[in-house]
Each structure stands twice: as structure tokens, then as C-alpha cells.
């Protein structure tokens, strides 16, 4: 008994670190973390989803078609679902109404002219399980907001004028709205 420990081995600092790392690795295995965007909150029997074109309650032409297309692309990209435009012969249906598309100044220059605008898309959305006849997810006022720089002043913050200047703005807002919507439905956020 040279150091007062009979038959036991004293671990050095590196031994403790290795032990801690091993314990942390074992604990991490069952922690439940997954990659964002890959969740599957929906019941296992939902394979075929009806996605009729969103209704357009705004004066913005084509916003309904663009949003519906991007939602369809996002759902198909998840790889597990067949997306059809019908509402019959499906396991679930996703209905949406584009309620508004608004443009508000977000930043100003020294002359008090808007140099940046926020484009906000608001929609009423409902995802219903037709087999169980219950709403799985809904949001009566889902919003997506994105800001855009402008080079010229818009008369009164007119949405149509803005979209005429930045033709990609509606495309970007539609894409990101669809991504947020599908993530919210599939991951139950």
C-alpha cells in the first residue's frame, strides 16, 4: 500500500475527461434530438393529402397559385406524402385562404423617405384528418414577413407598385411562407 489506495487505480485528468465524454455520448443517444424539418407529427396512416388551391381574398393577382405551388413543393420534398389537388379520396386535406398581403415602411433615409419595406402575407390555414374527422392543425391568422430594400419611393406604400418593382418579392415570400407552414404542420409547432 504505497499511496494509501489498496488495489484501486487513481485516474488522471485525461481519464476523467474521457469518462465524462463517454457518459455524455451515451446520454445523448436517447435525448430525442432530430434534424429540423424532418419531423413526422402526423398519424402514420396519412399518405395522401388533398391540397386545393388556396383562396385569394386580396387584390394581388396570382398570390394564391404561387403559395399553393410552394406548399405542394414543400410537402412533396418531405418524401412521404402524395399531394393531389382533390379533396376526396385523400387521408387529409389542407385548406388555406390568403387574407392579406400588406406593405409597411420599415426603414427611412435622412429625408424621411422609406428605404426598406416589410411585405407581410397573412393566411387562414386548416389541416384536417379526414379519417378521424378532426382538425390536426390550424392557424386563423398565420403570417410571414420579409423585408426588402427599395431604390425609389413608393406612392403611399402601394403593394402593386412594389411588386411591379421587385418581381421576385412575392416569389420569396410565398416560398418562405410555404416552408414555415409545412414545418409547423409536420412538426406540430
Q: Residue 81's domain is classified under what CATH number? A: 3.30.160.150
DSSP 82: E
Range of the domain at 140: 40-187
Q: Which residue bears the cell 405542394?
A: 72
Inside any domain, residue 33: no
Inside any domain, residue 25: no
pLDDT, tens only, 121-135: 999 999 999 999 999
Query: CA 155 to CA 90: how far, in whole Å?
Result: 46
Inside any domain, residue 6: no
pLDDT value, residue 17:
54
Alpha-carbon distance values, 40 to 34, 47, 52 (Å): 11, 12, 22
Inside any domain, residue 10: no
Most confident of 21-30, 36-45, 110-119: 110-119
pLDDT, tens only, 134-166: 999 999 999 999 998 887 655 555 676 677 666
**Model confidence, pTM:** 0.73
Amino acid at each position: 500500500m504505497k499511496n494509501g489506495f489498496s488495489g484501486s487505480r487513481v485516474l488522471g485528468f485525461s481519464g476523467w475527461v474521457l469518462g465524462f465524454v463517454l457518459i455524455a455520448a451515451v446520454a445523448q443517444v436517447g435525448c430525442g434530438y432530430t434534424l429540423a424539418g424532418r419531423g413526422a407529427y402526423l398519424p402514420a396512416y396519412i399518405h395522401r393529402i388533398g391540397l386545393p388551391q388556396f383562396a385569394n381574398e386580396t387584390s394581388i393577382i396570382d398570390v394564391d397559385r404561387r403559395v399553393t405551388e410552394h406548399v405542394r413543393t414543400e410537402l412533396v420534398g418531405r418524401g412521404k406524402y402524395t399531394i393531389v389537388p382533390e379533396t376526396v379520396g385523400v387521408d387529409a386535406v389542407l385548406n388555406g385562404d390568403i387574407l392579406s398581403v400588406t406593405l409597411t415602411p420599415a426603414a427611412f433615409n435622412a429625408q424621411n423617405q422609406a428605404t426598406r419595406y416589410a411585405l407581410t402575407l397573412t393566411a387562414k390555414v386548416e389541416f384536417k384528418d379526414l379519417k378521424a374527422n378532426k382538425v390536426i392543425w390550424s392557424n386563423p391568422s398565420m403570417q410571414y414577413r420579409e423585408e426588402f430594400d427599395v431604390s425609389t419611393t413608393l406612392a403611399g406604400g402601394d403593394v402593386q407598385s412594389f411588386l411591379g418593382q421587385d418581381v421576385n418579392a412575392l416569389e420569396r415570400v410565398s416560398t418562405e411562407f410555404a416552408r414555415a407552414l409545412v414545418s409547423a404542420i409536420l412538426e406540430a409547432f
